[in-house]
Structure 1
Amino acid sequence: MRRSGMLAALTLVLVAPACGSGGDSGSTATPQVVTSAAQAPPSPDASGAAVCAARGELESSVASLRGLDLGTAGAAGLVTAAQQVHQDLDALSAAASAEYRPTISALRASLAALSGTASGLTDKESVKAAMPELTAQVAAVSASWAALRRQLDNRCG
């Protein structure tokens, strides 16, 4: 029995580098010892399905926010789009485990900054005046979402 346990551990050491992400094809992989818990793929349980469903909704609302034409939508359209992202982020946060909390918090912070600016806009002129700030804040939301999406891709594919 002990021999089979050692064989399984050796197999992990030898096979784990082959399962890593792509990289420079000219470099050689350095074997790393990885525990089976770190190697185990996420379980396809109901909470995982809820996280992945919430991820899809959040991805859609962030895309809508990023694609918003502020000249047409105005301040009200921006506020509505930001509120939808907030709702979808809340749903994801409720379904997600603690491992996602830091990246969820980062997205929540960048979204709060955008929402704060948007709530102070009253007309097209105020939107126009705030455009540089809004552009930077939407970029921050996009960057925060990209980090969270990469993390969620490990679970949802």
Structure 2
Amino acid sequence: MLSPRRIVLAAAILLSASRLIFLYVIPSWQTIVTDFPNYYVSAWAVRHGEPLTELYNPLWFERAKRRAGIERPAALFNYFPPMNALIMWPLANLAPIAAKRAWTLVNIIALMVVIHLTAKSSGLEWPAAALIALLAGDALGNNFTYGQFYIVLTLLMLSAVVLSER
């Protein structure tokens, strides 16, 4: 029989995961909103041999966004370092919505690996590590909706820490 602690933990995970899925992951699968175009268009420009000297020109970037197949929302590369243009390079040959869906899958996988590495490196049980990740709430959800890079970045940094401890 499950202890009351495990029942509460399972319920909290179920509620948090359901909230993440229904409020953020499913909508991210269907729409392109802010941030994703910034990464995608810059990667598309690199992939298609566009002049990278123009990445920081807002008028050029807006035209490149349309050539890449994104009508809305507005996109701007002004505060990203040039290397950010490579983040979505592997996805830049896909249509924008297909790339967003692929990026959503990458983020789901990255989140699961982050949870696994957190549990493994901290000695926590997997459910506790999962709840810690899910308690990031809207910040975690916005990563999916906006098509951001932060879950993948967390995975890269956590991997570096885990590997350095070996």
Taking structure 2 as the reference length, the TM-score comes to 0.29
Q: Which structure is larger by alpha-carbon Rg, 1 or 2?
A: 1
Structure of higher RCO (CA pairs closer than 8 Å, 6+ residues apart): 2
Taking structure 1 as the reference length, the TM-score comes to 0.30
